[in-house]
Structure 1
Amino acid sequence: MASAFVLGDKSINKLTELLEKNDSRLPERLREELEESLGKPEPTTLSFRAARTLQKHLRDEGSPLYLHELLDGASLHLPEVLKPPRNPVLVARLERIKNKLANEEYSRITRNVNTQEISRNGTLADFGREVRSVKAVVATVFNFVVTVVAAFACSYMGSQYLFTDTGARVLAAVIAASVVGLAELYVLVRTMEGELGEP
């Protein structure tokens, strides 16, 4: 909390002039206090008590000089606030509370993480399950290709009794293979929908 003014050059000059002019009229104690304040090294300060005493004296004497003119360019002296040392017991307790809150926050963030599921993801059982599913897809694709090729070959060979022209035989085989391929795709899609649980 401020308890003094920091005097600027103007203030120092005016107070010095006042001391020189009113040597006899200033009270002894006030004059000593002003001389002591002006004799201090930087920063030159003037206490509020001395400023009030000086103002009272100037008013009583009927001086045309006012206190605000004397303190022109002065500022408040705000001493540095010294923080008291922290209590070590309190600091230790605060650290424990911070650690507890950090652990609770971590637990809240990771509560939906299941470590057993994470460790199971890399097991051989999962690898075997994935291999089986890949094997089933490969077998299904191979079955589809073999069925379409077999339908084409059968139709091509069987159409020789109906058509003598090779173009007509190929056209008939392509139509038959397409119909068989579409039927196979329809069955495959229905099977996959059943596995996924869709109607």
Structure 2
Amino acid sequence: MASAMRAGRRLRRAVEGGELAGLPAGLRADLAAALASEGALVPFSLLRRLHAALREAGYPLYLYELLEGCEIHFPEVPVPPRNPELVARLEQIKAKLANEAYRRMTRNITGQEKNGTLAEFGRQVRSVRAVVITVLNFIVTVVTAFACTYLGSQYIFVETAARVLSAVIVASVVGLAELYVMVRALEGDLGKL
């Protein structure tokens, strides 16, 4: 926090030139000593005393006129030494975060060691397995719908032709619904890519 001002030319001229001769001798001596010190730093407490003395003496000179060209002196804040354990821990955390970010960026990139023949074969087997399961699910659903309708329609129709026709119609509707669901799911999966 600032506690002094670096004296400007106007204040130096007023103290050295005798413009402030009517002020108390102790105040003038303190001002001269402050101007002679290293950096010509005048403490705020001395400036307050100067301001009070200027008002009491009825000087036509105002404090702001004297402070023209002065700069507020901000002392350098000493930086405490950093704890070596803390610095080491921060470096570990930074390295860990950088590695996580790198892994996140490169997780979709296949490296050469992951791109061997066995890895490619495994991917193909998984995709074939998914297609086989989907086709089997479709066939089981349609056959089950046909069988349930055929057996359930015996209470409504006496003739076998009517039972088979109603079972084919229901199986076709269920098959179309299943195809619609599969296409929507496939479209959703492709949309995510």
| Structure 1 range deviating more: 48-57 or 81-90 | 81-90
Counterpart of 2:24 (choices 26, 43, 63) is 26
The structure having more radius of gyration, on CA atoms, is 1
Q: Which residue of 2 aligns with 1:181?
A: none
Q: Which residue of 2 aligns with 1:72?
A: 68
**Tell me, which stretches of 5 or more residues in structure 2 are unaligned?**
119-193
TM-aligned CA deviation for residue 19 of structure 1: 7.0
C-alpha deviations, 1:12-40, integer Å up to 9, x for none? 01122347623xx4152x23321211212
| Contact 2:20/2:28 (8 A) holds in 1 | no
Aligned partner of residue 21 in structure 1, secondary structure: coil
Amino acid at match of 1:100: K
* Separation of aligned partners in 2, 1:114 and 1:21: 87
Aligned partner of residue 46 in structure 1, secondary structure: strand
Counterpart of 2:33 (choices 36, 45, 58) is 36
Aligned pairs (5 A) from 1:82-97? 82-97=78-93
How many aligned positions are there? 118
Aligned partner of residue 53 in structure 2, secondary structure: helix
TM-aligned CA deviation for residue 118 of structure 1: 2.7
| Contact 1:15/1:70 (8 A) holds in 2 | no
Residues 15 and 110 (structure 1 numbering): CA distance in 2 closer, same or farther, change over 3 Å? same
TM-aligned CA deviation for residue 113 of structure 1: 3.4
Does 2:115 correspond to 1:118? yes
TM-score with structure 1 length normalisation? Answer: 0.52
Q: Which residue of 2 aligns with 1:58?
A: 54
Aligned pairs (5 A) from 1:48-197? 48-115=44-111, 116-120=113-117
Over 4 Å off, 4+ runs? none
| Contact 2:7/2:71 (8 A) holds in 1 | yes
* Separation of aligned partners in 2, 1:39 and 1:117: 77
| Contact 2:15/2:32 (8 A) holds in 1 | no
Aligned partner of residue 118 in structure 1, secondary structure: coil
TM-score with structure 2 length normalisation? Answer: 0.53
Amino acid at match of 1:13: R
Q: Which residue of 2 aligns with 1:158?
A: none
C-alpha deviations, 1:54-80, integer Å up to 9, x for none? 101111122222111211211211222
* Separation of aligned partners in 1, 2:24 and 2:18: 9
Q: Which residue of 1 aligns with 2:16?
A: 16
Q: CA RMSD in A?
A: 2.5
